[in-house]
Chain A
């Protein structure tokens, strides 16, 4: 078993943990954190793929490495937008929960405009 395989399995485990956290952690902030863990697991897997493709004198395949850089920036944008929404919700509502209204009712009050 090579080191890249070890990190590949590690990436799979981190992704599993991220998925679990995304489903079960109740607070939105914890979900955002779990999403970041999940994302970092994906990036790690990409890094493993890049490392396995080391050739032509490069320590890794530069294409997936570049994709990870783009991915990290996109994930950061997502986090920033989610946190802005969350803090705004907290400010308007005084609480920050994602719970839908009680079962049976049809969710939020729509408006037109």
Chain B
């Protein structure tokens, strides 16, 4: 049931109160935690988590029972005057993912943000902001009104930004400020669009808008500005100036939340905008443009990730690439030129990728954080021997990496199948190429890290601090979740065309997943930083003679990307890119009218 059921005369459905509760519970947690302070903060956070999780689960059950969408009219006021909360399959799935990741991060973060003795700022702020992010995300997933969604988006930003600079160092403060300013830039553009839509249609309710909307110039201008603003907040290439320093500089638990969940908030609003507010209105050219930015993000993010010296930055750039995957579904879902949603399997694939990335990326950042804590650094070339001393963390990293590559039965595997099917059906072979090649790039940087981490150590490693098993288990659980997502019966909540769920455990499926891994190995050898490792392989001269020229060429190529990245991450360039993206979307939409 991916579509919000068009109910012009909205009424609160049975169990609709669950939607209100899912927003209220985290907000109450925030207020109580702020008032109580000190050690109570963790207790309140840990009391809120199971409650929030239970509410998300209850919404899943209620939705399964009703076979439709849940609606709740706040204050009993029906739109357009009032505000409605609506839960469809998409929002329920995203809410459950959020609940899972937040709970796992909470368990993981307990060791870092425990209040010892008197009240300290960082722990108090962390738990409050974590709960606030949860409340904001639930509002984003459930909000049925564009202005409420704007407030929720701002809430999300204000909760996310201070998480970046909890340690108060100059670098992270700068990263947080850049993040905040660029996010504000984006939300201002979003709000302009909201204004124009209200002026044109006299309502901001998503369902009412979807009935009234038509391809007038004002609508398309609004759509272009809103899309560009949301993309800035999602950090889709080339609007990513804030992401790498913010996600890599934050404490590990915060990075996990930022990378796994916060960027999904604005992504989800792009989905709502394009699929629910104005289904099919953007047209062929605009969907192609959106996916083209996604494809560029995959190539660019992956290559720059391969060139990183530090694990956390590599993972941050990998997020950049993975955000690109999320946008590949748009042209496939709408097909060529038609104004209707042609292939709802593609939309399902997009959401599956978002869920897979949320779980896998949170696990990756947690594993990287543990490695950093244990070693005192996270230089990729210095990871040798980590596999021996922190096996669970490295396995968590490996499993989440494999999940992202698309090894069956992961969610990405299923998503890839759905996307390929949609590409074949809509005869857009070029996206087939991108989808297949994407996995090569992902496996490149995953293999690069694993090759270093599993290599034997030069000298025995001593851990600076003992790592608790519970923290490793939190990361491992999320990684396993991501790897097993393909086994979940998604058909209840998302529309899955028949035949795609054949058998993810078949040998053939496994074998087909080996190709990207091998291709990724080649990419990693050609582009990665190897330190002195490459020099120690057997038959050194032969290997170097064989790959030397290719690696030299690849390195020149990689340096080019790095330089482009440095240029694009300057503020004026990023601001200009945002304007260009907005204007291009406007032009594409007006042309497609």
List the interface of chain A (C-beta within 8 A of B): 15, 18-19, 22-24, 28, 31-32, 35, 38-39, 42, 45-46, 48-49, 52-53, 63-64, 67, 70-71, 74, 77-78, 81-82, 85-86, 88-89, 92-93, 97-113
Report A-chain residues with C-beta under 8 Å of the C-beta of B184.
35, 78, 82
Contacts of B177 in A (CB 8 A): 28, 82, 85-86, 89, 98
Q: Which residue of B lies closest to A15 (CB)?
A: B192
Q: Which among A71, A100, A110 is the interface contact of B312 at CB below 8 angstroms?
A: A110
A110 and B245 alpha carbons, distance in the complex (Å): 7
A103 touches B563 (CB 8 A): yes
Q: A89 with B170: in contact, given A81-B161, A103-B563, A107-B313 (CB under 8 Å)?
A: yes
8 A Cβ contacts from B149-169 to A: 151, 154, 158, 161-162, 165, 167-169
Query: Known contacts A103-B567, A107-B313: does B308 contact A45 (CB below 8 Å)?
Result: no
Specify which chain B residues have a CB less than 8 angstroms from the CB of A49 in the assembled complex. 195, 198-199
A93 proximity list for chain B (CB < 8 A):
170, 173-174
Which B residue sits closest to A107, measured CB to CB? B245
Give chain B's interface residue range (CB within 8 Å of chain A): 35 or more
Interface-lining segment among B248-256, B502-510, B515-523: B248-256
Known: A19-B579, A107-B244, A112-B252. A74 touches B198 (CB 8 A): no
Contact with A along B567-581 (1 / 0, CB 8 A): 101111001100100
- Residues on A with beta carbons closer than 8 Å to the beta carbon of B569: 100, 107
Q: Is residue B30 within 8 Å, beta carbon to beta carbon, of the partner chain?
A: no
Q: How many A-B residue pairs have CB under 8 A?
A: 167
Contact of B566 among A31, A46, A105 (CB under 8 A): A105
Interface string of B165-209 (1 = CB under 8 A from A): 101111111111110110011001001100110110010000000
Q: A35-B181, A113-B252 are in contact. Are A23 and B192 (CB under 8 A)?
A: no
B171 contacts A38, C-beta separation under 8 Å = no
Q: Does chain A have a CB within 8 A of B373? A: yes
| Contacting residues, chain A, for B175 (C-beta < 8 A) | 107-108
- Chain A residues whose CB sits within 8 angstroms of the CB of B312 once the complex forms: 110-112
21 A-B pairs within 8 Å (CB atoms) are namely A19-B579, A28-B177, A35-B184, A45-B199, A49-B198, A78-B180, A81-B162, A85-B177, A85-B180, A92-B170, A98-B181, A100-B571, A101-B566, A104-B566, A106-B244, A107-B244, A107-B245, A108-B174, A109-B249, A110-B378, A112-B251
Q: Report chain A residues within 8 Å CB of B244.
A: 106-107
- Does the CB pair B171–A63 fall under 8 Å? no
The SS class assigned to the B binding surface is: helix
Given A32-B181, A108-B249, residue A98 in contact with residue B174 (CB < 8 A): yes
| Top 9 A-B residue pairs of the complex, sorted by shortest distance between their CB atoms | A112-B372, A103-B566, A23-B575, A110-B248, A108-B171, A49-B199, A110-B312, A93-B170, A108-B245
CB distance from B477 to the nearest CB of A (A): 20
Minimum C-beta distance from A111 to chain B (A): 7
Please report whether the interface of chain A is mostly helix, strand, loop or mixed according to DSSP: helix
Chain B residues positioned under 8 Å from A18 (CB to CB): 188
| Chain B residues whose C-beta falls within 8 Å of the C-beta of A102 in the assembled complex | 566
Contacts of B571 in A (CB 8 A): 23, 98-100
Is A108 a contact partner of B248 (Cβ separation < 8 A)?
A: yes
Contact (Cβ within 8 A) B192 A45: yes
Residue of A nearest to B244 (CB): A107
Q: Provide the bound-state CA to CA distance between A93 and B373, in Å.
A: 26
Give, as a whole number of angstroms, the nearest-CB distance from A42 to chain B.
Answer: 5
| Beta-carbon contact of A38 and B188 below 8 Å | yes
Residues of B within 8 A of A107 (CB): 175, 244-245, 248, 313, 569
Most A CB contacts (10 A, CB to CB) among B154, B158, B199, B559 go to: B199
* CA–CA, A18 and B184, complex, Å: 12
In whole Å, how far is B179's beta carbon from the nearest beta carbon of chain A? 9
Does B167 lie within 8 Å of A42, measured CB to CB?
A: no
